[in-house]
Amino acid sequence: MPVAIEDRPIEAVREEVIDKLIMNYSHGKLSYEAFERRLDTAMESNSNIEISALADDLEIEVDKSYVDSKKKDLSYHFEPGHTEEVDYIVNIFSGCNRSGMWNVAKEIRVFSVFSGSDIDFSNAKFSHPTVRIKLFSLFSGDNIYIPEDVNVVSKAFCVFGSVDNTAPSSNNINAPTIIVEGLSIFSGIDIKIKRTIKERFVAFADSMKNMFN
């Protein structure tokens, strides 16, 4: 006998419904407006019954190819293996942009003087469960972009500077954790999300739609 819908974990119900919304939208069974409206409700509602009802009239079920594509495009990339223990980013009267599919070392040391850096973990490959960013910033600005499904802890110390951490922590205890520590003097450190989870869902759905059409 199946568990009553109201007794199931809400995040499991939410994930199943969002998967089905994306699957049916990508196959042309939902208009973009209907997909976005239902997606908003699925992400915001705290009612299992309301969330589940969003997919009651949808016929196409999630298949293995969808699961494989989702794992590749939406999940953080964690591949246990050998990577550098320490990585260095040095900026003096200059700027640096680290983004794309890059291998994350166990420790990243950032030195910025009259400079700035963008460190984007959105598509990075993690090999360690915990990554430390040790940062020294003087008259500079450093942006750190964190995926929404990765944990982040800020321990940086400021002198006439600021650390603005707007990235939410993940509920997944198995997700990588990024610890930001160091010293900011007359500088700013922004820790934020480059794309929200909704934006990533929509982009993934559009890529699936293009593939099937």
Q: Is residue 199 a contact partner of residue 151, using CB atoms and an 8 Å limit?
A: no
Mode of pairing for the β-strands spanning 177-185 and 151-154: parallel
Q: Is residue 56 a contact partner of residue 13, using CB atoms and an 8 Å limit?
A: no
137 vs 113: CA distance, rounded Å: 6
> What per-residue confidence (pLDDT) applies to 18?
94
> What per-residue confidence (pLDDT) applies to 172?
65
Would you call 16 exposed, middle or buried from its count of C-beta atoms within 10 A (0-12, 13-18, 19+)? middle
> What per-residue confidence (pLDDT) applies to 13?
93
Residue that is written with structure tokens 């040391």 in the block:
109
Prediction pTM value: 0.72
124 vs 143: CA distance, rounded Å: 15
> What per-residue confidence (pLDDT) applies to 88?
92
Residues 6 or more apart whose Cβ sits within 8 Å of residue 84? 103, 105, 106
> What per-residue confidence (pLDDT) applies to 147?
83
Under DSSP, is residue 195 helix (H, G, I), strand (E, B) or coil? Answer: coil
Q: At residue 122, what is the residue type?
A: S
Of 61, 99, 79, 45, whose CA–CA distance to 176 is shortest? Answer: 79
176 vs 132: CA distance, rounded Å: 11
> What per-residue confidence (pLDDT) applies to 173?
67
Sequence ranges of the domains in the chain: 5-76+198-212, 77-192
Of 59, 64, 67, 71, whose CA–CA distance to 24 is shortest? Answer: 59
Q: Which residues of the chain have pLDDT under 70?
A: 1, 74-82, 168-173, 213
> What per-residue confidence (pLDDT) applies to 207?
84
